[in-house]
Amino acid sequence: SRSIHLAVIPGDGIGPEVVAEGLKVLDAVAPSSGLAFERTSYDLGAARWHRTGETLPDSVLEELRGQDAILLGAVGDPSVPSGVLERGLLLRARFELDHYVNLRPVKLFPGVSTPLAGVTTEDVDMIVVREGTEGPYTGVGGVLRKGTPHEVATQESVNTAFGVERVVRYAFEQAANRPRRKLTLVHKDNVLTFAGDLYQRVLKKVAAEYPQVTTDYCHVDAATMFFVNQPGRFDVVVTDNLFGDIITDIGAAIAGGIGLAASGNVNPDGTAPSMFEPVHGSAPDIAGQGKADPTATILSVVMLLDHLGAAEAARRVERAVAEDLAERAGQGARSTAQIGDAIAKRVSG
């Protein structure tokens, strides 16, 4: 079996709780996956910052570069100023490891309850390709005359032809390999005319290479509405970093809740390890209570397995999750570990 060096970053809040279940399931499938995982756990997050002032030190970043993949729980804690860990740890990892594709499936599994009326599992089955290294996330900008009545805060959106083209290309490739072959650009080109126009021109240019893919465009405000009242409009969605963040929380809500939403921060060129994590955060409101749903992390493990080429193992875990979800309604409330145990058992048995 092929040896895989897996970095694990449990992080803050419910991060360690859900990662433990993700690893439990990975351990259950590993023997039949053709992969042998060598895991290294990294102590990063709020506790490390309080102890040392570090978020993601250079030396740790270099170690991460040498790994084959990363599994992350969540970062962020009320005891740390907002942004310190989010920017210093999570975004730094995404940027430095060139995770220019943030892949976020929005898929309603059979038997899962959705707040939408009258939808079927076919209506809610899309994949959001969120740009991961540019847009308003780069940190370009600053503050002038802070604390005065004349304070000016700017936060610029950076969009490069190179960055937009590579993520749009990836999205076309995804669309070309799905049955419906439809790609929707979500942006706000009626107001963000510079960035929106760049995305539009790149979409048009790359579309010429994918005549089999239908393209569509939707302003982000309308997209939030259509996610709720016509989710079947969407197959593959490509969008900028911030819009992608926002619409994938809506996506999570329509597909059964934030506890089910998985993601992959992908470096498609393989120049650095990709990083898999649930879409949700550290959920300080339920941390330490064994209430967090680990399913999003387990489905992120599915994405990790697919990324590593272990498709059979991925399908096996996915099937176990689908079976568990189908029977959930009748189960009453289960703890984080009970859900992880049930899915791991289905994987082994």
Stretch that binds Mn ion, among 73-81, 194-202, 238-246, 340-348 (CB under 5 A): 238-246
Longest CA pairwise span in the chain (Å): 65
Identify the residue whose tokens are 């570090």: 54
Q: Does 46 bind ligand IPM (CB under 6 A)?
A: no
The amino acid present at 280, given as its one-letter code, is H
240 is in an annotated binding site: no
- Of the residues 259, 264, 273, 340, which one makes contact with ligand NAD according to CB under 6 A: 259
Given 42, 100, 137, 199, the catalytic residue: 137
User: Tokens 């079976």 sit at which residue?
Assistant: 323
- Residue 269 annotated as binding site: no
C-beta separation of 88 from 56 below 8 A: yes
**Contact flag: residue 283 with ligand IPM (CB under 6 A):** no
Region for 332 from its dihedrals, namely left if φ exceeds 0, alpha if ψ lies in -120 to 50, beta otherwise:
left
Here the tokens at position 66 are 């040498």
Assess 240 for contact with Mn ion (CB under 5 A). no
CB nearer ligand IPM, residue 107 or residue 328: 107
Residue 17 contact, options ligand IPM, Mn ion, ligand NAD, none, Cβ 5-8 Å cut-off depending on partner type: none
Binding flags for ligand NAD, 77-116, as an x/- string (CB under 6 A): ---------x---x--------------------------
Q: Which residues face 38 on adjacent strands?
A: 5
Q: Which of 28, 29, 91, 258 binds ligand IPM (CB under 6 A)?
A: 91
Structure tokens at 222: 């309308």
Measured from the Cβ of residue 99, the count of other Cβ atoms closer than 10 Å reads: 23
Question: Which two tokens mark 95?
Answer: 């940027």
CB of 98 or CB of 245, closer to ligand IPM:
245
Angle, in degrees to the nearest 10, between helices 295-307 and 15-29: 50
User: Would residue 204 show up in a list of annotated catalytic residues for this protein?
Assistant: no
Residue choice 125, 131, 245, 324 for contact with ligand IPM (CB under 6 A): 245
Q: How many angstroms separate the Cα of 254 from the Cα of each of 15, 100, 144, 145?
A: 23, 25, 40, 42
Active-site residue, 197 included: no
CB of 90 to ligand IPM, least distance (A): 5
Q: Name the closest residue to ligand IPM (Cβ).
A: 86
Tokens 């064994």 sit on residue: 290
Strands 274-278 and 262-266, sheet pairing? antiparallel
For the question of residue 137 being annotated catalytic, the response is yes
The partner in contact with residue 91, picked from Mn ion, ligand NAD, ligand IPM, none with C-beta cut-offs of 5 to 8 angstroms by kind, is: ligand IPM
List, as residue ranges, the binding site for Mg(2+). 221, 245, 249
What is the binding site for ligand IPM (CB under 6 A)?
A: 76, 86, 90-91, 245, 279, 281
